[in-house]
Amino acid sequence: PKTISKCYVQVTGMTCASCVANIERNLRREDGIHSILVALMAGKAEVRYNPAVIHPSAIAELIRELGFGATVMENCGEGDGVLELVVRGMTCASCVHKIESTLMKTNGVLYCSVALATNKAHIKYDPEVIGPRDVIQVIKDLGFSTSLVKKDRSASHLDHRQEIRQWKRSFVVSLVFCIPVMGLMIYMMIMDSQLSDAHAHQNMSSEEMEALHSSMFLESQLLPGLSVMNFLSFLLCVPVQLFGGWHFYIQAYKALKHRTANMDVLIVLATSVAFVYSFVILLVAMAEKAKANPVTFFDTPPMLFVFISLGRWLEHVAKGKTSEALARLISLQATEATIVTLGPDNVLLSEEQVDVELVQRGDVVKVIPGGKFPVDGRVIEGHSMVDESLITGEAMPVMKKPGSTVIAGSINQNGSLLISATHVGADTTLSQIVKLVEEAQTSKAPIQQFADKLSGYFVPSIVAVSVVTLFAWIIIGFVDFEIVEKYFLGYNKSISAAEVIIRFAFQASITVLCIACPCSLGLA
């Protein structure tokens, strides 16, 4: 027998099924080419040829002459079939050895490994020589029961519903508490400006007096050092910090455990520091029974959480849209196929229902009217109209007669067809489309990779800057107290200079953290 080799050629520039037919028809005529199979979506041709007569480079040249781009693919392992099986009835290592050695002796099996602990077998085979059903039969003949590892066809990993719900909840919680905090803050700002105007003019109108009283109420103290304003802000801030920030805390903890710093770390740092600092300052003021109300940062965490959880929520909604399309595609795949055995003159001898994964190349599959095509193939017998709109977008049914190609996932309409399988499993057009969409989703845009890399440096550097700020102000304060006095207004003359400096330094460094945090939003 003359030796036959197999090579794969990457083909570019194919637009439709007629291109495929064109390449296959022209190359079959050539000397030394035994058979050729072209997959449109994968852009790949599998050629079996006689190396004594023709070389892969010459084959690629022939395809190029037809007006397509063609390059020979080096890694020819692409064509190997992979099979995952669950094997029941193994008791000890000798069973494992028995299965492995028998399979390795079987013609067409390239690699086989059986794990006793998990009852799983992993097998690589050459689909030209042997198929999954043959492998399963070999294992059954040895006295073990075996079945396919069930693929998760529901595409549950594409479901973003839960995440969407979670971020939406987190956004709503933050928003509900953020609005009053913002209202209080804006109100105080307006009042402050009115008061300063009033002080400048000395003579107050009655409205201004009222404004003064209402703002005096917010500034008035429930306990010494604890103003109504600060108390309300604190009450509104706690639930946001707990419920709104819950997911951020978890993510940040995970990131730090792996010694990386991401955006979540910054958010958590800024909000926690602002919250804890404000809380401590309040306690200190209450302990001191201070007359002046301390400046707190309780407005920072709710506002940050609102913006960021809104962003995350929108992001997941967008992801969910693409994934939904993908899940719909996956659901188009047929789950079962009817395989028939033909006698001479295409007489039906027997037929059996099998899982789609078990269909081998070259099998004859029967498709009844209204049924889906389980695999890509060629019609052997029968005439029918086929609805291919899911792949081609073509609204009208397409006539199929012996020799026509059919696409997996399309729907047979009026006649019964017998088809010979050409592309099965992961090589079908539909699987290729699903794979392309999945890859497009998982691969990052270069700019995004760059941003991720940057934020890795960004977080530590911001923390460093804020620490430097802290120490710088402490040093400046101890060297020249007037500067601090000039910028730190309204501090209580009764507290020591050292405390004033430290408070001011903390305020400055927290301001740095809180300002840098939305900046990472810019990065994102």
Are 177 and 281 within one domain? yes
Residue 152 is given by DSSP the state -
What per-residue confidence (pLDDT) applies to 506? 79
Q: Of 508, 499, 505, which is closest to residue 287 (Cα–Cα)?
A: 499
At 323-341, the pLDDT tens digits run 777 777 778 888 889 999 9
Decide: 268 and 248 in contact? Cβ < 8 Å.
Answer: yes
The verdict on residue 206 lying in a domain is no
At residue 207's C-alpha, the angle toward residues 205 and 211, to 5°, is: 120
What are the pLDDT digits (tens) for 11-44?
888 887 788 888 888 998 888 898 888 887 778 8
Q: How confident is the model at residue 420 (pLDDT cuts 50, 70, 90)?
A: very high
Looking at the structure, tell me whether residues 133 and 100 fall in a common domain: yes
3-class secondary structure, 107: coil
- Give the residue with greater pLDDT, 301 vs 495: 301
d(CA 301, CA 274): 7
Residue 339: the pLDDT is: 92
The pLDDT of 370-382, averaged and rounded, is 92
- pLDDT (mean) for 481-504: 70
99: how many CB neighbours lie within 10 A of its CB? 24
Q: For 46-61, write each residue's pLDDT tens digit.
A: 888 888 888 889 999 9
Q: Which residue, among 229, 247, 236, 242, has the nearest Cα to 178 in the 3D structure?
A: 236
Residue 369 lies inside a defined structural domain of this protein: yes
CB 217 within 8 A of CB 342: no
Q: What is the mean pLDDT of residues 139-160?
A: 75
Residues 350 and 421 placed together within one structural domain of the fold: yes
Residues 354, 227 share a domain = no
What integer pLDDT is reported at residue 209 of this predicted model?
Answer: 62
Of 55-59, 311-315, 359-363, 516-520, the poorest mean pLDDT is in: 516-520
Domain count, the chain: 4
Domain contains 407: yes
Residues 6+ apart with CB under 8 A from 98: 142
Enumerate long-range contacts of 25-32, CB under 8 Å, 24 or more apart.
26/62, 26/66, 27/59, 27/62, 27/63, 30/54, 30/62
Q: Token pair for residue 183?
A: 């209202």
The one-character DSSP state at 110 is: E
216 and 318 in a single domain? The answer is yes
What are the tens digits of pLDDT across the range 433-456? 887 877 776 666 677 667 667 766
User: How long, in residues, is the chain?
Assistant: 524
Residues 6+ apart with CB under 8 A from 261: 255, 455, 456, 459, 460
> Both tokens of residue 181?
């905090």
CA 217/CA 221 separation, integer angstroms: 8
Sheet holding 44-49, edge to edge: 33-39, 44-49, 5-12, 69-73
Is 228 in the same domain as 265?
A: yes
Question: Does residue 153 surpass a pLDDT of 60?
Answer: no
Sign of the torsion formed by the C-alpha atoms of 129, 133, 138 and 139: positive
Residue 354's domain comprises 335-428
Same domain flag for 229 and 363: no
Assess if residue 330 is contained within a domain: no
Strands (E), 221-371: 221-223, 226-227, 336-342, 348-355, 364-367
Per-position DSSP letters for 389-428, written without gaps between them: HHHH---S-EEE-TT-EE-TT-EE-SS-EEEEEEE-GGGS
CA distances, 137 to each of 81, 99, 366, 401 (Å): 16, 12, 22, 34
- Does residue 292 share a domain with residue 419? no
Looking from the CA of 229 toward its CB, the CA atoms found within 13 Å total 26
% of the chain with per-residue pLDDT over 70: 84
Residue 437 lies in a domain: no
Residue 16, helix vs strand vs coil: coil
pLDDT band (50, 70, 90) for residue 377:
very high
What's the mean per-residue pLDDT of the chain?
A: 81
Same domain, 114 and 172: no
In this predicted structure, the answer to whether residue 366 has a pLDDT above a threshold of 90 is yes
**Same domain for 98 and 119:** yes
Dump pLDDT digits (tens) for 165-212.
888 888 888 888 888 888 887 887 777 777 666 666 666 666 666 656
Q: Cα dihedral sign for 255, 256, 260, 262?
A: positive
Contact between residue 366 and residue 338 where contact means Cβ atoms under 8 Å apart = yes
| Residue 225 forms part of a structural domain | yes
For the segment 76-96, the average pLDDT, to the nearest whole number, is 79
Alpha-carbon distances, residue 218 vs 32, 187, 191, 203, 277 (angstroms): 93, 10, 10, 23, 21
pLDDT value of residue 373: 92
Highest mean pLDDT among 76-85, 241-250, 263-272, 293-302: 241-250
DSSP state string for 39-75: ETTTTEEEEEE-TTT--HHHHHHHHHHTT-EEEEES-
- Beta-carbon contacts of 443 under 8 Å, excluding residues fewer than 6 positions away, are none
Residues 164 and 269 in one domain: yes
The predicted-structure confidence for 91-140, as pLDDT tens digits, reads as follows 888 888 889 999 999 888 988 888 888 888 899 888 878 888 889 999 99
The angle formed by the CA atoms of residues 296, 302 and 304, to the nearest 5 degrees, is 100
Whether the model pTM is above 0.85: no
Give one DSSP letter per residue of 278-320, joined into a string. Answer: HHHHHHHHHHHT-SSPPP--TTHHHHHHHHHHHHHHHHHHHHH
Structure tokens given for 207: 């409205």
Which CATH number does the domain housing residue 34 bear?
3.30.70.100
The reply to whether 201 falls in a domain is no
* Letter string b/e over residues 51-68, b meaning 16 or more CB atoms within 10 A of that residue's CB: eeebebeebbebbeeeeb
